Amino acid sequence: MYKFQYIIFKIFRYILLLFPEKIRFKFAEKLGIIGYYLIKKRRLIALANLKLAFPDKTFKERKKIAKESYKIMSKAFLSTLWFEDYLKTNVQLEDFNRLVSIKEKGNGIVVALIHMGNMEAGLKAGEKYRIVTVAKAQRNPYIDEFITEARKKMNVTLLKKSKQTSRELLEQIEEKKVIALFTDHRDKGTSVKFFGEETVSPTGVINIALKHNLPLVIGYNVMHEDNTCTTYFSRELDLVRTASFKDDVKVNTQMMMSIIENIIKNYPNQWMWFHDRWKLYKKIDKNEIKN
């Protein structure tokens, strides 16, 4: 079954790449809108999240943001099928000198990534530095191998989430690699306020930065109408370090999430709104969403 799925995947990719890039992105936009209407649960989650984050916006405004987000996410996912070529000509690294200046000191560095724009476009930094990131293994082992090998070509080490992940990450940290981890979705961690609502945030990047005394920056991407994109890097975060490691993790995670919140507010259509960030799905009032 997995082999058959992989064959279908390869045929789809082959046919898609026969078309000019502009056509591929038009197709991706159509897929995004189809997904918005077809997958009801995710649509309701996106609209509920937007209601929570932007209560002063009208339903029409929030719906527009949701649809634009779906289009951008669809284009981001689909472009991974020709990502190596996409990175060469369509991605600009803004403020990359900040990473360069840190690396020139001979240090490792931790980058907190956000699910925004063409999310993985920051991998273009792999042209200069080896990047290490972590992701769940795909169910289909053939597709998983395809993704892993594609990332290797871009100077990226893709670690699969497992019981060995912490040890594998430690080895990469000791080699002073660039550790880049997505950190804006709900996961095990500490409680924080995000858009004024209590939720849980992962603490991986904060833990690594504090334990190993590494600099931490935030990396995020904005996709433009012409399908090019810009990856931005924040200034180094000024982390609080006291005698209480547990308290420091909580305080710094909150500080980081507050910065991420402001970034999302600046580019609301770029964020992945259909992730159930606040566990709202079971509480959704369909009529309330439209108010």
Q: What is the DSSP letter of 12?
A: H
pLDDT over threshold 90, residue 282:
no
Rounded to whole angstroms, how far apart are CA atoms 240 and 210?
Answer: 9
Q: Give the β-pairing of 216-223 and 229-233.
A: antiparallel
pLDDT over threshold 70, residue 288:
no
Rounded to whole angstroms, how far apart are CA atoms 112 and 117?
Answer: 15
Tell me how crowded residue 281 is: count the other CB atoms within 10 A of its CB: 13
Task: Give CA 211 to chain center in angstroms.
Answer: 23
- For residue 194, the cross-strand partners are 197
Separation in Å, CA 154 to CA 82, 84, 186, 191 = 12, 7, 28, 35
Tell me how crowded residue 100 is: count the other CB atoms within 10 A of its CB: 14
Read off the pLDDT of each residue in 214-234 and give the average, rounded to a whole number. Answer: 96
Out of 169-178, 192-201, 228-237, 272-281, pick the least confident.
169-178
The pLDDT of residue 135: 85
- Residues recorded for the chain: 291
Rounded to whole angstroms, how far apart are CA atoms 7 and 14?
Answer: 10
Percent of the chain with pLDDT strictly greater than 70: 98
Token pair in block for residue 53: 């984050």
Q: What is the pLDDT of residues 241-255, one digit of tens each?
A: 999 999 999 999 999
Token pair in block for residue 95: 């403020």
Q: What is the pLDDT of residues 44-99, one digit of tens each?
A: 999 999 999 999 999 999 999 999 999 999 999 999 999 999 999 999 999 898 88
State the burial class of residue 27 (Cβ atoms within 10 Å of its Cβ: 0-12, 13-18, 19+).
Answer: middle
Rounded to whole angstroms, how far apart are CA atoms 135 and 62?
Answer: 30
Read off the pLDDT of each residue in 138-154 and give the average, rounded to a whole number. Answer: 85
User: What are the backbone dihedrals phi and psi of residue 244, each rounded to the nearest 5 degrees, phi first?
Assistant: -105, 105
Rounded to whole angstroms, how far apart are CA atoms 82 and 36?
Answer: 24
SS3 content of the chain, % helix, strand, coil (to 5): 55, 20, 30
Helix, coil or strand: residue 105:
coil
The pLDDT of residue 262: 98
